[in-house]
Amino acid sequence: DVRSFARAASTMLPELAKDYVRKMVIRAGSGAKVMLVDAETKQYLSTVYSQSEVLKQEVFLVETIENEQVDKLLHMKAVCFLRPSYSSLRALCRHLRDPKFGEYHLFYTNTVRDSYLQDIAQADEQELVKQIHEYYADYMVLDSHLFSIPSGSFEGVGGGGRSASSSSAEVSSFLCAPYTDRQNILSDVDRAVEAIAALLLSLKVRKPSIRYQRSSDVAFQISESLYRLTYCQGDGLFATERGSIEPLVLILDRTSDPVTPLL
């Protein structure tokens, strides 16, 4: 995994992550609920909530959205906590065409493309989707100031799935080769950028000042993509009040770390 440190004046990542999940459940309203997750959000949920804490939120079942064998429980509401990937889109559309639950409340961990929303609207012929929200939780919380970005083993936004063996090889190549062809690591770079952007949005900070390790091609590619996303493509999302502290995003390459091998 690509690991990064996140520091904010008064926000701790575990509390922020719990608050996101709590808001999802509250927005779905009272009554029995099932939480539908994908492979990545399931891991996210397990790091911030225990099973007993989930039950206290009137969530009586946590199920992967890809599971087609789930029983029909039309009296329950489905709180869908998903990454905006095409695999979760396909699984959601299958649910909407052959519904297992009475209502679907959609919460995505990052920004959702217009084409994605159009596909959902076409599949939702019975008008079961009650709301769609973007909650920027596209990273794994490990500690108060530490998060991890799943890389390679999960499907990125708009990307295709990969086997575990090939994923391990790709992640190793991504982390260990300072100079490599951009096309070979494009999906991992995009995944890292999506997670860093989600972190900045969840902490509600202004556009960052980006610095990177000059000798690393990977660090340069991540920095370039992050700059393009925050200053060009997502200009409205990162607009904040004047006078707010400008965060510094410092991107370093672990292959040039002189300390860790000595520990």
Which residues have C-beta within 8 Å of that of residue 60, sequence separation ≥ 6? 32, 33, 34, 76
**pLDDT over 80 (residue 98):** yes
Average model confidence (pLDDT) across the chain: 80
pLDDT in tens, 190-249: 889 999 999 988 888 778 899 999 988 889 999 999 999 888 876 677 765 544 667 889
12 versus 38: the higher-pLDDT residue is: 38
Token code pair at residue 202: 């969840």
Check residues 164 and 232 and name the one with the higher pLDDT: 232
Percentage of the chain lying above the pLDDT 70 cut = 77
Mean pLDDT in residue range 120-127: 95
Which band of pLDDT confidence, cut at 50, 70 and 90, is reported for residue 183? low
pLDDT tens, residue by residue, 31-55: 899 999 999 999 888 888 887 888 8
Distance (Å) of CA 108 to CA 82, 113, 244: 5, 11, 27
pLDDT of residue 1: 39
> 23 or 53: whose pLDDT is higher?
23
- Each residue of 153-170: b (16+ CB within 10 Å) or e? bbbbbebeebeeeebeeb
pTM tops 0.85, yes or no: no
User: What percentage of the chain carries pLDDT values higher than 90?
Assistant: 43
